[in-house]
Amino acid sequence: MSSPFAVIGIGNLLFKDEGLGVYAAKYLEENYQFSPPVELIDGGTLGLNMIHLYQRYERVIILDTISVEGSDEAGTIYNLNADALQGLGDCRKTAHEIEVLQTLELGALAGDMADIQIIAMVPEDMTEVSMSITPTVMEAMPQFIEAILAELAEWRVVYELKENGLSLPAIIERYNQQQASSPSIGENR
């Protein structure tokens, strides 16, 4: 194992705010150096294939969206242990959220699970097909990044800014360009 720590951004980049976890992981990768090293992983929509990641590391932070019943507004940030998330069963609204919880539950059954912390944000829009994030979520992203860095600091991980980092809009634009240049299903290049 190259590092005992991992940060995994999950979500589908095609559905607006659902990709915020992936974008946050990429932002950390482009802008920070960590000591000891932290694996920054684009978990995308790996679903059940993420169980091996939960067993590979000692500690994992999952970056994701969360739906919470009540008056929480888009951009609200939660920092929860995986056990606490399992207690929010009636707050799961999307297939994505249900799959994340099922993966955590199956991983726990398999044994040798990492200590998993979930840092999640309430999305504004996860239905529109657009590789972007809403202005509300974009405005909350600095606080989201700060919550991740604070959790890593609790793990005694030291971080520093890289000199030539990328802004979040630049990272989102890079993903859009990569998607546009990727071959479509069934297309030969």
Going by C-beta distance under 8 Å and a sequence separation of 6 or more, which residues neighbour residue 97?
Answer: 64, 65, 66, 67
User: What is each CA distance from 36 to 33, 112, 136, 150, 170, in whole angstroms?
Assistant: 9, 22, 33, 15, 27
Asked whether 9 and 43 are in contact (CB, 8 A), the reply is yes
Separation between Cα atoms, residue 43 and residue 134, nearest integer Å: 21
* pLDDT tens, per residue, the chain with 189 residues: 567 999 999 888 888 888 999 999 999 999 999 999 999 998 876 666 677 777 788 898 999 888 766 657 889 998 988 776 655 554 555 545 556 665 665 555 556 777 889 899 999 988 888 888 999 999 999 999 999 999 999 999 999 999 998 999 999 898 778 766 766 544 443
pLDDT of 188: 45
> Residue 98 and residue 40: Cα distance in Å, rounded?
23
Question: pLDDT value at position 29?
Answer: 95
pLDDT of residue 45: 65
Q: Give strand pairing partners of 159.
A: 34
Which structural domains are found in the chain, ordered by start? 5-181 (3.40.50.1450)
Contact 34, 149 (CB under 8 A): no
pTM score, whole prediction:
0.83
Evaluate whether 4 touches 36 at the Cβ level (below 8 Å): yes
What is the spatial distance between Cα 148 and Cα 62, in angstroms, rounded to a whole number? 10
| Measured CA angle at 55 (ends 103, 24), to 5 deg | 70
Q: What confidence score (pLDDT) does residue 115 get?
A: 81
**10 Å Cβ neighbour count for 116?**
22
